[in-house]
Structure 1
Amino acid sequence: MEEERKAVSEQKKSCINCGAELKYKPGTTEITCEYCGHQETIAKDESGFKELELLPYLEEMGSQSHSEEIMMLHCKNCGANQHIEENYKSLHCVYCTMPLIIEDAYKEDWILPGAVLPFQFDQKKSHQIFTAWVKGLWFAPNNLKKAALDPQNTKGLYLPYWTFDAQLYASYTGQRGDYYYVSVPYTTTVNGKTVQRTRQERRTRWTNVSGNISGFVDDTLIKASHQRKNPIPSKISNWKLDALEPFNTNFLSGFVTEKYTIPLKDGHLSSTKEAEKIATSWARRDIGGDTQRVSGIDMNLSEQTFKHILLPVYISAYTYSGKKYNFFINGQTGTISGKRPYSFWKIFFLVLFILILIAIAIMLSE
């Protein structure tokens, strides 16, 4: 285990020219020196992702195999746990911007990540995305584009997630529904006369069914941390996991990394619920017909593995009229979501305009 920890730690490099830390350059496989421009290629682990057997970890929750000791800072305001590099200069929480006290730093073990999704663009690009987002907001105040966006408050953060793989086998019982149509007579009035007509109404013919399904459940993604304040919006969580890279600490250099706070055991329970949803979906597909009812699922998961992965997001805040608003950008896709102010007068005049149109329409109809 000590050799593994040493191997991981030795991946951090200093510039051979000036001694400054080499930081990851988003969108590349390079680490670069921001002072003299020296670059080095991040060596790719040809062995691929480190998938870990699940059951040994669940049976021995105290096991620290495949783990590493890292320096952590806990935000007393919002509860976030953040890994700060030794020479990381900003000591403010990435979520709530409250100051962090370096003297409160402590060491803690974590299960090493098996993979990381590197940032695909830098902080400057994240500001351009923010500017374009502001311009496209409906009912936003006209001078919102003047919002004060402090670059020091924009941080790249790697979020922790669990992924789970398993072979799924299940037996099911349910019903298959097949549509058919019948002619139903009804009466109506045409030109003052009562006439008989028919219409087609849909019915469902139900048949009891049962069967077995099986397949591989790949990379069930489960969030591994809680954010009590300013939670990450689901809108930006559209990760493309096929771009994952085998874990290398060089991808983390220059960014903040959040430690998981949702234990592996709880993450596994959530993934099992997701597997049940998948099994139900597979059962419906197997039943066929026009519609289906699944009344029972007996599911079994085997060959279960997991990995701890890190996914990129930019977190920042902007100030408008003395109030702070947070926004979040997916560090891979550029999808943005955030809080925004509304213009009272724009909404007021729109409502007034609609009421005037309605009033005109009523007058003309009379």
Structure 2
Amino acid sequence: MERRNFLAATSTAALAASPLLQLISTTSTAATPSLVRSADVEQIRTAATTLRSWDNLYGGGGVVRETALAQLRWAAGLLNTTCPASLKVDLFTAVSRLATVVGASAFDAFAHEDARRLFVFATSCAEEVDYWPLRAISYNLLSRQATWREDPDAGLTLAELGLARADRLSPAERSMLHNARARALAKMGHAQQALAAIGQSDDSFASLVPADEGPWMAYYDSAQHHGDTGHALFDLALAGHPPQEALGRLQTAVDGHGDGFARSRTFSRTKLASLQMATGDPAQAVDDGRIALTEASQLRSLRANHELGELSRLAHRHRTVPDIRDLREQITSTVAL
């Protein structure tokens, strides 16, 4: 997958005529100003930060996505507005960051084609001004979405594209992309390569200095790192790799995520319960599964529901146990909401 060919169909110019921006254009927003000011750029940055926190707290469905679409329409309109040369980099990077946030909400709501277009749009904005960190963010999300959609080969390619000129990326950004590689490789059944990618991620994370990271990487703390690597190890464990490391990392993620990262905590807790269910600790799986079910019921996240569905399928082998049968019935009711 050659980068220029991949992006050509959905560059900033092509996206303007896409069904995605036709969707965005149906939302009434404030008129686009005739001249970009620094205050406008700061508003876009603030919107990205706020929407990201809402997405983590509530999930990507409901009001979060609707609000995000309106914000993005206004921000994208500024790209065709007169902009002082001194603000061009700031404008394009702010719009890129907002597009990844909106795309992530669409991904969580299973609006997959909208999400893909937004991630590609974000990539184009970052590349327009040669801003490698935000380019890495969008390639990371493209990779994760491809792997999620059962195309880990594309997921691996996209993660490695994101790592181009890794010397220009921060430790957190490199760690993030090695995690995307690991998850793709694990899905492909390449255990040793996946473990090597996790090792590279661990090495990058070990050199991370939070104060030196960009605001877009503020989420990437110990809980996030252990959750991401634990997800990759989860797939290896289901394929027969010893599960202890995956269980430990997922537990660290669950314990480390605060209430502001409710969705991430729910993902990791559900994976933890699923792995416990699959590897011989169904009683503990029920306890963690019930908590995950309660947490997921507070979110508007189809991905969280999907993870619960996986837990239910893995619990099928223990379906005669009353507590597990009850958990599966509760999952069915929650996922149907």
Same fold by TM-score greater than 0.5: no
TM-score, normalising length from structure 2?
A: 0.21
Higher helix share: 2
Higher strand share: 1
Bigger Rg over Cα: 1
Q: Which has the higher contact order (CA 8 A, sep 6+)?
A: 1
TM-score, normalising length from structure 1?
A: 0.20
